[in-house]
Every structure is written in structure tokens, then in C-alpha cells.
């Protein structure tokens, strides 16, 4: 069929549809920020299929419609990898990570190098080969030297573009992981049960089985996805760093592993692993570790390989335990800043020796992402040091008794209409007098991190608030006037009351930064409170500062400045400060603050960075950190070549080993006291 002018306009529509679908693919799989619903996406795809069916001369092998699967193949062809796909070494503790870091330093010297940190997706390794931007082959890892050609199935995977965009190399081999998302796996199980089939045990097995199917249309039904994480062979382009490579393939339309980050040194990379572990609940895919790899490709060549694995990469893995249990109820917890956090009340189940009966669902978006309902059977996972979290819903076990959870529009404690954070995911109660916020705020006010009031724990706070003896922070300092009423409460004797009142009275003299911390201003932690107290000296001076003036303080950005200024401008904030001032709390002293600043400037630790590790005999950790600050030093959490001293107690671990490796002086507590001039 010869193209007419009308055919030309149809060709233009077809090309526009293809570009639009590819754009939405990139938004969904690369940026996790879709602009349209699945239904609207399917409608675009349907229009394209109809046009290509009506005009077969316009069909193209790299059209998005070709991802639904072609004809079955007769069998698999074995392909030799251009560059071997080797395995990587594992570390199962921070100590083993430190040993790996030490080996790298011995090979390349003490100068810090950048590291890329990413999740280790629990999927099936896959190599994609593009020639002039077109997908020509996809190969499984196999034995590392040879693998199976699974191009017919790879073409069906979401996140595998059939044609790259922008500046593309002549040959580009991208390696990564094929996997099935948790929600898609839950739906797959439900579909298999409905069809009378035995459900698959886990998503990795489902992925491996899908990749080895001969019929790509069957593979397409499993909704496999792909994340890239490394480069294989390359012609017609060069990259100096791995991070540069990731940015380049992202521009070409290939998604990399979510939340991958670039860290300035190994210590920072190790510290970042904890943040990634704490964010596991945000993922819609399984992971079984975190990978740390040298960023600079030249340094990688210098480090070289062992007989089985590269020396420039390590996988930090942990024991992962999971169990199936039922969501009996979804409760709402109101935090000290008013955040409404949904919590799943679970049928008690033992995981890794611990009985688990609750798991945070974090926020409304998380409930929607998981699709969890009251009565659902769910998979709960506990990995490493991380608290248990819900991985996925076992949709195939639904029997119609489940109920959709309606997120409250009003605070369950005070019935105030809730609001959603601007540009955020959290929903909170804006009422500063909310009883739940009061309880949690009082607990934080009395905690060791803040006013350190011995004996004022959450159980007593609940008693006192229920009896209306505590209705504000200021009421803590009025308790001595209500001693007789306190004696009427259960489990409160004269001695315990006197000890509590003594602790309350002593807390009045706590330094200004502790009081600032205790007030629970949003975004203001201990470090920020210290900076504000040192800069301005008194509560009254801080209260008069504008956002612009506050923003000029070290480590205080616009968000923190706005929060601080708003607190002191509010009736609530002014009432608190007025009451606490009248009750005799330390509101700072500009002269004393200047003297402390002068003392710090003249201290023996000025310009020095110290790291404390192990169990100390004389100090609590926050006490020695305060002493370091008092003498002009900085207390850090990780050891690097910029560390001046490490103060080591008993049972010191990887930080001590790192200090010895880098030649950082190690002090006992006695030597530390001698250094600062104290007996």
C-alpha cells in the first residue's frame, strides 16, 4: 500500500502517540511521577494498536506496541558475554564493611574517593545490548561467561526501551535486574488462584520463571520490570565515572535503581546505608542488600579484580525474615508535631525471635501504594536492625470480608480538621492544644535529649494529663503546688513524688539550647537549637529575629527559619515562653553566651573533630559530646582522615579499627580529660 497524503497525516499521529507513550513510560519507570492514570495510558496504547493494525505499513519493531509480546520461540540460544558478568563479594556486618574499606585504602592510598550507593534488587540479572540505540539482544547472566538469549521476553518488560533517545553510543551494553513489583506480584498470585493454579512462592522465582518462558505473551502477563545498575561493553562513548554513566542512560530512557546516591567518601557511604534501610517500606520491589561501588572508573581499573569478583564493589547484605499475618485493625497515632501515622494492628506473629503485633503504615500514600485493607493477609518483613514493615498484600487470600480504611478527615483526639503538608505526604492536626500532641510533646520535653527530667515518663504523663494536672509544658513546673492531688493517684508515693519534683526543679537551670530543643519546634533538633542559642544568647533575642536573620545562622535554612519565626509569632508560642519565663526557667544570658563563645574560641579543641566510640566509664554519650563542644571541638559520628582524635571506651568496634588503619590518635577517657585540661 502506497502512502497518500492522508497516510502521511496518519503516520504523524502514530509517531506522536509513540512519543507520548514513551514519555509516559519515562515518567512512570524512571521518575516515579506518572502524569496520567493506568486507564488513560491503556487508552493511548489502544489507539496506537488500532492505527498500526489498520495501517500495517506503519508498524515498527521499536514501537511501544511490540512490548505486548510476539510469537513463541522454539528454544533458547546460548550467547557468550562480551564482558563477563562476575559476582560481587558480600559483607554481613559493619565490621566486614570496614574491613573492605581498609582493603581499598591499602590498594589506592588514603585519599578519599566517591562512592555510589544503591539498593541490591532481589531479581534476575540481565544484560541488554543496544546497537545505534536499538535493542538487539537481552542475555541472562547464566554462569557469568555465557547466558541465554531472552530478547523475546525482555522486549515485554516495562523499563526496557526498544529504542533509546538522544545521543546514543554505537554499542551500549546495560546490565541490571529484572523483577516483579510487590503490587504486581500480589495481583499475579490472585490471578493464579482464580485460574485454579498454584501460586508462586516469591517474586524472584516468578521473575526467573517468566524470563525462561518460550511464549513472550505469557511473560508479558507477569509485568516484569527492569532497573539498570552497571555498564558492560561500550563503543562510541566513554564515561569517567559511574554516576556520569547513570545520568547518561537516564537521558536515553533507561531507568536505574531508585534512590541511588553519590557519596563523597566511604564513611559517608556506609552511613547512608542506614538511611536506605530505614526507607525500605517506601519501595515496591524486593531488595536483599545495599551495594557500594567506587564511582571513578579509572580507580576501578587500578583496584582490579580477584579471581572471582571486582575489588571496587561490595554488597552489604543482612538476614531477612518474613512472615504472613493478618491486619486486624488500622489505628491512627498522633505524634508530637501533630502528624497522623496509620499503624497496622496485626495478628501476633513471631519474626526472627520477636513477636510482632504492630507495623507502621507511615502515611496515607503508603496505604494506597500497598492497597492494604482491614482484614487483609499481608507479608511482614524484618531485615537487619530495621523495625518490621509490611511488604505486600496477599490479594489472593481476600474473601470479601475486608474493609477499605478511610483516612480520617479530623484528628481522632481533638476532632480538629486535619491538613496535608504543603509539598509533602504527611497529614497532621494543626491544633497545638491537641491532647495527643500534648502527651507526646510532654514526653519529648522531659526526655534526655531535652530537659532530662528523671521520672517523668510516658506512663506518669498519661496519668497526670488524664487527671488534668498537666495541660501544658508550664504545668510541669506547677506540680509542686499540686502535690496533694498527686498523692491521690495510683502508684505514686511521697518519695517518688519528691524525687520527681526535685528533678523538675533542677531542670529549670538547663541551658537555653535544651529548652529550645524541648519546645519541639518543627525541624529544630539538638544541633540547630545549639546553633541558635550560641548565636543569639537569649530566648527573647531569638524571638525577635526575622526569617532572613535566622537564615544567616550556620545550618539554619529557610525551612527551619520559617518554622522558628512562625512559632515565636504565634499566640501559642508567646504564651509558652511567657509562662516558662515567669516560672523561672533559664532563658539564656547574652553576657554568659558571649563568655561561653569566648571560652569555646579559646578551648583546647578549637578546630578539632573528635569521634567517640565504645562504652565510657565516666560519661554518657551526650555528656562527652557537650564537653567537646564546650572546649571548641566538634563531635562527629564517623571516622575519616579529617578526624583528629577518637575517644575509645570498652567494646569499641569498627570505628576504632578505622582510626588505627588511618593513623588517627586514639585516646582513653583519662587522656581526653588531660587533653582538655581537666583532672
DSSP code per residue over 159-208: T--SB--SS--SEEEEEEEEE--HHHHHHHHHHHHHTTPPPPS-HHHHHH
Identify whether residues 124 and 261 lie together within a single domain. yes
Decide if 662 contacts 639 (C-beta within 8 A): yes
pLDDT tens-place string over residues 228-287: 999 999 999 999 999 999 999 999 999 999 999 999 989 889 989 988 988 888 888 989
- The stretch 539-562 carries a mean pLDDT of 90
- What residues are paired with 128 via a beta bridge? 138, 174
C-alpha cell at 327: 491486619
Is position 460 within any domain? Answer: yes
What 3 state SS string does 208-274 have? HHHHCCCCHHHHHCCCCEEEEEEEEEEECCCCCEHHHHHHHHHHHCCCECCCCEEECCHHHHHHHHH
Residues 119 and 255 in one domain: yes
What's the pLDDT score for residue 73?
65
Domain membership of residue 553 (yes or no) is: yes
Q: What is the pLDDT of residue 2?
A: 37
In a domain, 62, yes or no: yes
Run of H or E residues at 108: helix 94-108
Please state, in angstroms and rounded to a whole number, the distance separating the CA atoms of residues 164 and 161.
Answer: 6
Of 6-20, 78-92, 231-245, least confident by mean pLDDT is 6-20
Closest CA to 127 of 89, 162, 177, 66: 177
CATH code of the domain covering residue 442: 1.10.150.20
The domain tally of the chain equals: 5
Give me the chain's average pLDDT, please: 88
Residue 634: which residues within 8 A CB-CB, separation 6 or more?
608, 609, 610, 628
User: Do 19 and 158 belong to one domain?
Assistant: no
Which residues contact residue 602 at a Cβ distance below 8 angstroms, ignoring those fewer than 6 apart? 632
Please determine, for residue 224, whether its predicted confidence score (pLDDT) is greater than 90: yes
Active-site pick, 59, 67, 106, 120: 120
Annotation marks residue 630 as catalytic: no
CATH classification of the domain holding 636: 3.40.50.10190
pLDDT band at residue 579 using 50, 70 and 90 as cut-offs:
very high
Q: Are residues 461 and 555 in the same domain?
A: no
Cell of 601: 574560641
pLDDT band at residue 386, thresholds of 50, 70 and 90?
low
Q: Are residues 608 and 581 in the same domain?
A: no
Cell of 525: 533538633
Q: In this predicted structure, which of 219-233, 327-341, 343-357 has the lowest mean pLDDT? A: 343-357
* 153/262 same-domain check: yes
Phi and psi (nearest 5°) for 71? -80, 155
Residue 518 in any domain: the answer is yes
Task: For residue 443, tell me if it sits in a domain.
Answer: yes
* Of the candidates 333, 335, 319, the residue with the CA atom closest to the CA atom of residue 361: 333
- What mean pLDDT comes out for the span 81-98? 87
Is the Cβ–Cβ distance between 402 and 376 less than 8 Å?
A: yes
Query: Is residue 53 included in any domain, yes or no?
Result: yes
Residue 88 lies in a domain: no
Enter the DSSP assignment of 421.
P
What is the structure's pLDDT at 3? Answer: 39
Last residue of a domain, one of 596, 622, 644: 596
Q: Which residue has the higher pLDDT, 31 or 167?
A: 167
- Residue 599 host element (H or E): helix 590-601
Does residue 466 lie within any of the structural domains? yes
Mean pLDDT of 332-353: 90
Instruction: Decide if 145 contacts 79 (C-beta within 8 A).
Output: no
Q: Are residues 63 and 146 in the same domain?
A: no
8 or 212, which is more confident? 212
Residues 450, 528 within the same domain: no
Q: Does residue 99 contact residue 316 with C-beta atoms inside 8 Å?
A: no
Query: Are 649 and 586 contained in the same domain?
Result: no
- Considering only residues 20 and 128, tell me which one the structure prediction assigns the higher pLDDT: 128
Q: From 49, 68, 87, give the residue that closes a domain.
A: 68
What distance in Å separates the CA atoms of residue 611 and residue 646, rounded to the nearest whole number? 5
Q: What's the confidence (pLDDT) of residue 485?
A: 93
What pTM was estimated for this model as a whole? 0.61
Q: Please choose, from the candidates 210, 227, 253, the residue with its C-alpha nearest in 3D space to the C-alpha of residue 69.
A: 210
Mean pLDDT of 95-102: 88
Q: Are residues 142 and 199 in the same domain?
A: yes
Three-point CA angle 294, 90, 202, nearest 5°: 115
Are 64 and 203 contained in the same domain? no
- Judge if 447 and 529 occupy the same domain: no
Instruction: Give the domain range for residue 18.
Output: 5-68
Enter the DSSP assignment of 94: H
**What average pLDDT does range 632-637 have in this prediction?**
84
Q: What radius of gyration, in Å, describes the C-alpha atoms of the chain?
A: 30
CATH number at residue 46: 1.10.287.610
Q: Is the pLDDT of residue 133 over 70?
A: yes
> pLDDT band at residue 8, thresholds of 50, 70 and 90?
low
Instruction: Give residue 94's pLDDT.
Output: 80
pLDDT at site 38: 62
Q: How far apart are CA 338 and CA 263, in angstroms?
A: 33
- Residue 653 to residues 96, 205, 613, 659, Cα–Cα distance (Å): 11, 38, 8, 10
Average pLDDT over every residue of 381-405:
85
Out of 596, 631, 650, a domain closes at 596
Amino acid at each position: 500500500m502506497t502512502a497518500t497524503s492522508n497516510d502521511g497525516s496518519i503516520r504523524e499521529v502514530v509517531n506522536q502517540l509513540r512519543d507520548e507513550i514513551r514519555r509516559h513510560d519515562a515518567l512512570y519507570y524512571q521518575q516515579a511521577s506518572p502524569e496520567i492514570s493506568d486507564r488513560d495510558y491503556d487508552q493511548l496504547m489502544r489507539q496506537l494498536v488500532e492505527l498500526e493494525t489498520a495501517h500495517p505499513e506503519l508498524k515498527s519493531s521499536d514501537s511501544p506496541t511490540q512490548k505486548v509480546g510476539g510469537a513463541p520461540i522454539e528454544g533458547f540460544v546460548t550467547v557468550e558475554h562480551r564482558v563477563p558478568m562476575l559476582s560481587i563479594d558480600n559483607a554481613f556486618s559493619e565490621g566486614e564493611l570496614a574491613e573492605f574499606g581498609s582493603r581499598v585504602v591499602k590498594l589506592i592510598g588514603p585519599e578519599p574517593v566517591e562512592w555510589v550507593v544503591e539498593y541490591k534488587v532481589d531479581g534476575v540479572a540481565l544484560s541488554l545490548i543496544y546497537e545505534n540505540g536499538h535493542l538487539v539482544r537481552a542475555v541472562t547472566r547464566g554462569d557469568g561467561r555465557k547466558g541465554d538469549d531472552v530478547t523475546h521476553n525482555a522486549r515485554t518488560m516495562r523499563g526496557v526501551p526498544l529504542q533509546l533517545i538522544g545521543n546514543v553510543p554505537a554499542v551500549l551494553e546495560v546490565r541490571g535486574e529484572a523483577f516483579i513489583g510487590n503490587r504486581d506480584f500480589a495481583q499475579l498470585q490472585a490471578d493464579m488462584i482464580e485460574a485454579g493454579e498454584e501460586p508462586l512462592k516469591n517474586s524472584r522465582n516468578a521473575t526467573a520463571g517468566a524470563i525462561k518462558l518460550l511464549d513472550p505473551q505469557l511473560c508479558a502477563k507477569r509485568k516484569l520490570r527492569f532497573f539498570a545498575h552497571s555498564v558492560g561493553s561500550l563503543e562510541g562513548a566513554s564515561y569517567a565515572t559511574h554516576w556520569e554513566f547513570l545520568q547518561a542512560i537516564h537521558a536515553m530512557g533507561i531507568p536505574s535503581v531508585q534512590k541511588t546516591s553519590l557519596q563523597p567518601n566511604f564513611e559517608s557511604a556506609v552511613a547512608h546505608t542506614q538511611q536506605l534501610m530505614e526507607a525500605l517500606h517506601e519501595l515496591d520491589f524486593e531488595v536483599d542488600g545495599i551495594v557500594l561501588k567506587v564511582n571513578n572508573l579509572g580507580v576501578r581499573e587500578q583496584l582490579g579484580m580477584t579471581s572471582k569478583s571486582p575489588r571496587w564493589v561490595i554488597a552489604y547484605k543482612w538476614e531477612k525474615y518474613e512472615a504472613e499475618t493478618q491486619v486486624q485493625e488500622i489505628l491512627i497515632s498522633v505524634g508530637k508535631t501533630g502528624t497522623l501515622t496509620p499503624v497496622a494492628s496485626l495478628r501476633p506473629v513471631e519474626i526472627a525471635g520477636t513477636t510482632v503485633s504492630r507495623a507502621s503504615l507511615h502515611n496515607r500514600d503508603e496505604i494506597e501504594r500497598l492497597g492494604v485493607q482491614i482484614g487483609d493477609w499481608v507479608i511482614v518483613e524484618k531485615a537487619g536492625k530495621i523495625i518490621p514493615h509490611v511488604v505486600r498484600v496477599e490479594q489472593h487470600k481476600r474473601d470479601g470480608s475486608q474493609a477499605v480504611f478511610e483516612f480520617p478527615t479530623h484528628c481522632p483526639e481533638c476532632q480538629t480538621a486535619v491538613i496535608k503538608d504543603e509539598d509533602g505526604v504527611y497529614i497532621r492536626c494543626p491544633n497545638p492544644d491537641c491532647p495527643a500532641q500534648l502527651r507526646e510533646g510532654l514526653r519529648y520535653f522531659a526526655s534526655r535529649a531535652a530537659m532530662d527530667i528523671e521520672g517523668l515518663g510516658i506512663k506518669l504523663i498519661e496519668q497526670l494529663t488524664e487527671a488534668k494536672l498537666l495541660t501544658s509544658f508550664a504545668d510541669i513546673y506547677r506540680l509542686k503546688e499540686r502535690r496533694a492531688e498527686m498523692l491521690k493517684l495510683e502508684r505514686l508515693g511521697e518519695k517518688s513524688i519528691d524525687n520527681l519534683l526535685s528533678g523538675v526543679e533542677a531542670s529549670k537551670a538547663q541551658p537555653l539550647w535544651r529548652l529550645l530543643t524541648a519546645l519541639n519546634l518543627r525541624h529544630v533538633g539538638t544541633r540547630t537549637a545549639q546553633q541558635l542559642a550560641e548565636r543569639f544568647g537569649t530566648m527573647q533575642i531569638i524571638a525577635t529575629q526575622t526569617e532572613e536573620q535566622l537564615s544567616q545562622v550556620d545550618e539554619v535554612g529557610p525551612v527551619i527559619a520559617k518554622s522558628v519565626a512562625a512559632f515565636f509569632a504565634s499566640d501559642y508560642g508567646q504564651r509558652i515562653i511567657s509562662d516558662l519565663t515567669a516560672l523561672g526557667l533559664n532563658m539564656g544570658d547574652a553576657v554568659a553566651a558571649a563568655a561561653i563563645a569566648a571560652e569555646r574560641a579559646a578551648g583546647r579543641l578549637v578546630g578539632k573533630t573528635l569521634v567517640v566510640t565504645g562504652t565510657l566509664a565516666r560519661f554518657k554519650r551526650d555528656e562527652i559530646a557537650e564537653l567537646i563542644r564546650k572546649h571548641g571541638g566538634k563531635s562527629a559520628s564517623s571516622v575519616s582522615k579529617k578526624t583528629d582524635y577518637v575517644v575509645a571506651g570498652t567494646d569499641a568496634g569498627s570505628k576504632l579499627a578505622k582510626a588505627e588503619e588511618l593513623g588517627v590518635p586514639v585516646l582513653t577517657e583519662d587522656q581526653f580529660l588531660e587533653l582538655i585540661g581537666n583532672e
